[in-house]
Amino acid sequence: MQQFSYSRAPDIAAALQQSKDHGESKYLGGGTTLLDCMKLHVETPAHLVDVNHLANRIEVKSTTIRIGAAVRNSDLAYHEVIRTKFPVLSEALLAGATPQIRNMATVAGNLLQRTRCTYFRDTTWPCNKREPDSGCSAIDGFNRSHAILGTSDKCIATHPSDMCVALIALDAVIEAEGPRGKRQIPMRDFHVAYGEDPIKESVLEAGELITAVEIPELPFYARSHYLKVRDRASFEFALVSVAAALQIEGDRITGARLALGGVGTKPWRATEAEQALVGRHPDENAFVEAAGVALRDARPQRDNGFKIELAKRSICRALGVVARMK
């Protein structure tokens, strides 16, 4: 780890100013990803601005819930409103990492979590996410855990977050503040599929700080579920994960939310599959067809073609669980 300087911001305005005053700076929350990357020399900031103590409240409003950027993952997962009205988010958070890491990790840090691609985290390998135009070692390397959606010939790294998959299914909105003022960013627009510029992972601008996440409180979000398929039951990243919610009136689906993790270069919202579900009976035939729509643009690599069928079956299983909820 290279040397760096440190400051603790008393408020958001001070955090923005401290970031501006130090050119190569990063905001420090729980540090569960950033410090790991610094130890590996993947991240090399010259200065850290500590924002752990800022924006750490959960506010329940009449039509939304507002979650401060520094709220810990454990506190969010066990919050009564999250557990009862947004179970998919609580389940996603509890499926991630270990209790010790969840006790430290923050909402904003989870949003900005870096990929677990081995070639990205090992600086002895060429990687377009670290060094533009150096090459993607994963394409010709061992790529069992890599993405099959949103990939390019420059990068196939998988986005690792569980929380983000649930948030994109829940139509969350991210609040950020930076040198050009405050703005709101729909979760579906926040992350960037790597394409021609693998280094760019989100639409955040230099010096911009995430301050909160807001989720609309729609009644059918209570009928939701997060399914994570992984190699072992704890402290493991998803091979495939599914965030699903259904609005069912009578014997028809009138609204659907479907998002995938473990398969995309960003949290993957399957909007066309959602549309395919609306108007259908909540049965296996509808779920199988929707799963096919969700994966029809998949581009598997040598070692991860199994993810297509695994994702389809996982979608059907998650939707089946939601359909049986009362």
Structural domains in the chain plus CATH codes: 1-52 (3.30.43.10), 226-323 (3.30.390.50)
pLDDT in tens, 32-89: 999 999 999 999 999 999 999 999 999 999 999 999 999 999 999 999 999 999 999 9
What pLDDT score was predicted for residue 195?
75
What pLDDT score was predicted for residue 235?
86
Q: What is the pTM of this model?
A: 0.97
pLDDT in tens, 102-158: 999 999 999 999 999 999 999 999 999 999 999 999 999 999 999 999 999 999 999
What pLDDT score was predicted for residue 103?
97
Residue 23's pLDDT band, with cuts at 50, 70 and 90, is: confident
Read off the pLDDT of each residue in 259-267 and give the average, rounded to a whole number. Answer: 98
Kindly write down the DSSP assignment for every residue of 96-146, as one continuous string.
Answer: SS-HHHHHH-BHHHHHTPPP--HHHH-TTS-BTTTSTTS-BHHHHS--TTS
Q: Select from 174, 183, 164, 196 the least CA-distant residue to 92.
A: 164
Q: Select from 324, 323, 302, 284 the least CA-distant residue to 139.
A: 302
